[in-house]
Structure 1
Amino acid sequence: MAAAARLAVAGHRVAVYERGATHGGAVGRCEREGFSFDTGPGLLHLPAVYRDLFVKTGKEPLERCVELVQVDPASSHLFADGTAVTLPNASRAGVLRALDEAIGAGAGERWSELVNRARDAWEATRRPLLEEPLREDAAAREALGRDPYPAVRRRGLFRRGGAVTLASVAARELSDPRLVALLESHALAYGLDPRRVPASAAVLPYMEQTFGSWYVRGGMRALADALHDRCAARRVEFHFGAEVVGLAEKEGRAAGLELADGQVVEADLVVAGVSPGRLASIAPTALAEIPVPVLPGRCTVHLALRGARPGGTAHRTVVHGPDREAELDAVFGGSGGSAQGAYRPTVTVLRPDDPATRPDAGHEAVTLVATVAPHGRVDWSGEVAGAFADRMTDAARAVIPDLRERLLWREVRTPADTEAATGAEGGGVPAPALAGAGGAFLRPGNTTRVPGLYLAGGFAHPGGGLAHAGMSGAMVAGLIVAGARQ
């Protein structure tokens, strides 16, 4: 939709073909008995991406279409040893004080120094990684394949020539297991294994701490609704329940779409926002190689609670798991790891102070989220889902002690549900693109080997997340408009 709105303003006639019954993809909503829950992202980072989109596509800016609220505190964390810390939003000095008070003198400074180095990594790669289409030439990919994080080289550090990962940096530069858990939780939330991801993943907490965390009144689905309305106002056509199964080509160029019902839709240009497996099926020659990675998914538990939301409750609380290795092995695979093991996951508890999410002030809507192994490696359509949701709910009781007494009902959504709704293999959720690791954490570029076929969305450059998806739409629209001028 981000690409569609921009292209419509540029004078193109645009039609969106969506296999689902509504717009928004994974940015969905669950409604029941007066309660409302986001089924996708719960918070927005880098809201400037959508401010720019709405300014460039119409007279009404973003804040006139949705109510953006800066979440403060940004998050609370409950660590495995019982230590609790609450971190303010977009306040570096406040974060430093909070960590010193909760963990001990010097903790805030160690965290601050790491974030400073993450800022250097951000500045080094922000433009080529987030603001420009990914060039396919070898030099460009080689440059982004180098990790920009300036890891501290102390005596003996990495002397064996091993990869500098987020985990190795955390262990050496933070040392305290609670600070390590804090850093690694940002990677885990995006479906990234801190033991394998490059140190440049430290930009994830840097972005959040620097630019803040934001919530949209009515839930994040309200953002998808506002963008759909903007597209409709620009006369973008929407066709739902229209599954694309093939790319029509003419003289070696993209010439339209083939739909599951046999219909062929003609087009001059095609923008695909699909998973790698779907792309391989629809347009097998689009890329020189279309890797289909097995990405982690999300297990989400929606809780309808009787009783008012207590005053002073944090919007987001992360309850850290007690066994790091067991959890990482279960989610990402590892020696001796079992994806179906009875480990207790790291759980993010979302408790928005939003009347639109509950029937009245005497009730509360709570969402629990955990990163999990994809459907296929775990059969999420079976009994595993209920047992895992029980463990997530038990974890949430650490911050909602009266949860059992207040619980009216719950709904569980797993990677199997995500796969059914979006078509993504295993219900996998793409992470933002990262520099380093020889380019292993980059996404396919926005152009393809088939002229007239472009890629957008979380499975294309610059990767997953609401902000990054919006960036990909801007990049694709820019490429098309620039090409039309040549």
Structure 2
Amino acid sequence: MARIAVIGAGTGAMAAAARLAVAGHRVTVYERSGTYGGSLGRYARDGFVFDTGPSLLHLPAVYRDLFVKTGKEPLERCVTLTQVDPASRHLFADGTAVSLPDASRAGVVAALDQALGEGAGTRWAQFLDRAGTAWDRSRRPLLEEPLRDDREVAARDPYPAPRRRRLLRPARQAATLAQIGAWELADPRLAALLDGYALSYGLDPRRAPAAAALLPYMEQTFGSWYVSGGMRELAGALYERCVLRRVEFVFGAEVVRVAEKDGRAAGVELADGTHADADHVVLGAQPGPELVPSQAWDATGTRSAGRAAAPGRFVVMLSLRGAREAGAVHRTVVHCEDGTGEQEAVFGGRIADVPTVTVSRPDDPSTRPDEAHEAVTLTATVAPHGPVDWTDPALRERFADVLTGRAALAVPGLRERILRAEVRTPAETAADTGAAGGSVPAPALAGAGGAFLRPGNRTALPGLYLAGGWSHPGGGPAHAGMSGALVAGLVVEGDGFRGSR
């Protein structure tokens, strides 16, 4: 039985902790804040309850596998999952609206043809077919296996972009998501739909490789799922599973350094000066040179260390009077008119004049005090804290008002119904999670020579492993859960571990 220190109590870290405890190891989790869950936060007041991070679960099979392998009680006996249908409603700048059914290719085709014109659905379906090929090509090396040292497989773009013939000039293929929208989808609304998926994950469509097509493919193929009570319930169930497996949690314990002895990780040093010995250390937080010994950092973080901070999320939580109207859609995306301008602002460290806004309206009695009220959450991807001062009260109020105005296109009589509005910005995310600038890590992507990969789970320092959204295979609840499984496999089986089969 080995002693294992886990830094952070996010979903990836807890996923690793639960699996390692089941394997017979003594696991202690050190969390800088006073609670578990990482980005799966919750805000509650006067009977209204809101998710402060992701609001839907994709690829629930990741957590079904985790709960089956860490105990006799499956996931669905710990939380209630409901497939969201329609998966999303989209309001485009020209006034067109379309609701997309969940996990139904034929339904999506029919809906797009009816809303956008004959042929739009077919073009989207053909795009998803190519995205499916990319999924088949990259699923194992990108999601189910530890990142290879040479990274050659993941560096190649798996998306089979058709060649675009041009008169008297060489044929070209789409290399970015924005080029797919312009060259293959041939409709600005379909392009906006595709861009919206990338932006929601914190990716710039102009730079994200064509392999980012996997993101809409995963959602539309495997579905979108709502956890009753909010995503915080999933974090709570994972925490309880860890406790059941005798994982020890120490809250309010900030780790300032991974200790190294005789050329391997030997424990953690805490802010209060104490030292905890360990045979293995799992880092479930954002790696940094101040936290990780230099010999490990060189191998795990240099590819991303020089990049600008990733975007964060601006969240407005609205407590509304009045009941949720019949037929209201759980998730509506209000697309902006100038997508390029928004992208230039978000990824250039500025505030977009008119952002794309996601409106979440769960039909869940546990999120509201009674049936005469409703809890609605507005979310926009924004530049991180630093380039933008998200602590500025006037700026926060002004931008929250912009989001509310956009959301009013989706929620009838929104402004007149507001009882209270609470705002959460990247500044709060940075304070709560320790992520620089309040950035939210995006999923790893193949292609672009490996520029969108995350540091591998195994580091150059023996005994030190990386789990969670800042490591392979990247951000989001499902990907973080996968990283926990990969770390557990590497610790239990050693360097010969090649992923689950």
Give TM-score scaled by structure 1 length.
0.96
Deviation at 1:484, TM superposition (A): 9.6
Give the RMSD, CA atoms, in angstroms. Answer: 1.6
- Which position in structure 2 is the counterpart of 1:108? 121
For the structure 1 residues 271 and 104, does the alpha-carbon distance in structure 2 shift closer, same or farther, using more than 3 Å as the test? same
Aligned residue pairs total 477
- Which position in structure 2 is the counterpart of 1:117? 130
For the structure 1 residues 178 and 485, does the alpha-carbon distance in structure 2 shift closer, same or farther, using more than 3 Å as the test? closer
For residue 99 of structure 1, the aligned residue among 106, 112, 120 is: 112
Structure 2 contact 48–369 (Cα < 8 Å) conserved: yes
1:405-484 equivalences under 5 Å are 405-483=416-494
Q: Distance in 2 between matches of 1:366 and 1:153?
A: 44
For residue 375 of structure 1, the aligned residue among 385, 388, 413 is: 385
Deviation at 1:280, TM superposition (A): 4.5
Secondary structure of 2:26's counterpart equals: coil
Deviation at 1:20, TM superposition (A): 0.9
- Which position in structure 2 is the counterpart of 1:404? 415
Q: Distance in 2 between matches of 1:116 and 1:408?
A: 45
> Does 2:153 match 1:143?
yes
For residue 309 of structure 1, the aligned residue among 310, 313, 324 is: 324
Structure 2 contact 52–315 (Cα < 8 Å) conserved: yes
- Which position in structure 2 is the counterpart of 1:390? 401
1:49-198 equivalences under 5 Å are 49-136=62-149, 138=150, 141-156=151-166, 159=170, 164-198=175-209
Structure 1 contact 244–282 (Cα < 8 Å) conserved: no
Q: Distance in 2 between matches of 1:79 and 1:85?
A: 9
Paired AA for residue 251 in structure 1: D
> Does 2:15 match 1:2?
yes
Q: Distance in 1 between matches of 2:341 and 2:240?
A: 45
Give TM-score scaled by structure 2 length.
0.93
Structure 1 contact 29–37 (Cα < 8 Å) conserved: yes
Structure 2 contact 93–337 (Cα < 8 Å) conserved: yes
Deviation at 1:163, TM superposition (A): 7.0
1:237-256 equivalences under 5 Å are 237-256=248-267
> Does 2:339 match 1:324?
yes
Structure 2 contact 31–253 (Cα < 8 Å) conserved: yes
- Which position in structure 2 is the counterpart of 1:31? 44
Q: Distance in 2 between matches of 1:162 and 1:260?
A: 52
Deviation at 1:325, TM superposition (A): 1.7
Q: Deviations over 1:91-129 (max 9, x none)?
A: 000000000000000000000000000000000000011
Structure 2 stretches lacking a partner, 5+ long: 1-13
Deviation at 1:485, TM superposition (A): 9.8
For the structure 1 residues 485 and 105, does the alpha-carbon distance in structure 2 shift closer, same or farther, using more than 3 Å as the test? closer
Paired AA for residue 29 in structure 2: V
Structure 2 contact 165–172 (Cα < 8 Å) conserved: no
Q: Distance in 1 between matches of 2:213 and 2:491?
A: 33
Deviation at 1:161, TM superposition (A): 6.8
Secondary structure of 2:415's counterpart equals: helix
Paired AA for residue 419 in structure 1: A
Q: Deviations over 1:37-79 (max 9, x none)?
A: 0011000000000000000000100000000000000000000
Structure 1 contact 418–427 (Cα < 8 Å) conserved: yes
Q: Distance in 2 between matches of 1:220 and 1:159?
A: 49
Q: Distance in 2 between matches of 1:327 and 1:441?
A: 21
Deviation at 1:29, TM superposition (A): 0.4
Identity %: 67
Structure 1 contact 271–456 (Cα < 8 Å) conserved: yes
For the structure 1 residues 120 and 194, does the alpha-carbon distance in structure 2 shift closer, same or farther, using more than 3 Å as the test? same
Deviation at 1:283, TM superposition (A): 2.9
Q: Distance in 2 between matches of 1:484 and 1:198?
A: 30
Secondary structure of 1:298's counterpart equals: strand
Secondary structure of 1:286's counterpart equals: helix
Q: Distance in 1 between matches of 2:287 and 2:195?
A: 27
Structure 1 contact 340–384 (Cα < 8 Å) conserved: no
1:279-358 equivalences under 5 Å are 280-288=290-298, 290=301, 291-292=304-305, 293=307, 294-333=309-348, 339-340=350-351, 343-358=353-368
Q: Distance in 2 between matches of 1:150 and 1:280?
A: 41
Q: Distance in 2 between matches of 1:161 and 1:118?
A: 18
Structure 1 stretches lacking a partner, 5+ long: none
> Does 2:371 match 1:361?
yes
Deviation at 1:162, TM superposition (A): 8.5
Deviation at 1:463, TM superposition (A): 0.3
Deviation at 1:400, TM superposition (A): 1.2
Structure 2 contact 162–173 (Cα < 8 Å) conserved: no
Paired AA for residue 51 in structure 1: R
Structure 1 contact 431–465 (Cα < 8 Å) conserved: yes
Q: Distance in 1 between matches of 2:21 and 2:261?
A: 24
